[in-house]
Amino acid sequence: MTNAYKYSIIYFLAFSLLLMISGVLLFEYKIGFSVEQISSYYLGDEDKFMNPQTSSGILKIITPHIFAFGLFIMVLLHFLIFTKKRSSKILKAVIYLTFLSAILELLSPFGIINSIEFFAYVKLLSFIIFELLVLFSSWLLFRSIVYE
């Protein structure tokens, strides 16, 4: 990998960090980081004048995210294949877990609007796991560019 490509990847990681921060801020402002807040966001709350979310409304939000998540994860993780971590078991686990947590994060609202409270926990946990995995992958990539 030439130095110029390394520069662009490091800048890409900086953008990824901003993307993660914006995701966390959006989650906090729109939904909230507690199971009760997640449930009331999707099921509605009369006291807060919040309407319940509908399947079509959720689908409208997640459709662009399905593509964006897939593309972002692919771009971020495929850079790791060019590092020394290429054939490690950790990388394999990170790849599967990142896609799994992303899909759970996207689809769990459908469970919540069907009054299955368990999915509020899934939504919260999958979001946190996804963010941590992206940060971990970014750190692995950053370390390999700087130190290898």
Q: Which residues bind another protein (CB under 8 A)?
A: 2-5, 7-8, 11-12, 14-16, 18-19, 22-23, 25-26, 29-30, 68, 71-72, 75, 78
| Residue whose CB is less far from another protein, 25 or 90 | 25
Tell me if 133 sits within 8 A of 101, measured CB to CB.
yes
Q: What are the helix and strand counts (H, E) for the chain? A: 5, 0
User: Rounded distance, CA 21 to CA 36, Å?
Assistant: 22
Tokens of 46: 């009369």
User: Residue 76 Cβ, how far from another protein at the closest point, in Å?
Assistant: 10
User: Residue 2 Cβ, how far from another protein at the closest point, in Å?
Assistant: 6
Positive or negative, the CA dihedral 98, 24, 68, 80 is negative
| Residue whose CB is less far from another protein, 16 or 108 | 16
> Which residues is 50 bridged to in the sheet?
45
User: Residue 68 Cβ, how far from another protein at the closest point, in Å?
Assistant: 6
| Residue whose CB is less far from another protein, 75 or 116 | 75
| Residue whose CB is less far from another protein, 13 or 95 | 13
User: Residue 3 Cβ, how far from another protein at the closest point, in Å?
Assistant: 8
Please choose, from the candidates 36, 34, 43, the residue with its C-alpha nearest in 3D space to the C-alpha of residue 115. Answer: 43
User: Residue 82 Cβ, how far from another protein at the closest point, in Å?
Assistant: 10
User: Rounded distance, CA 83 to CA 113, Å?
Assistant: 42
| Residue whose CB is less far from another protein, 18 or 135 | 18
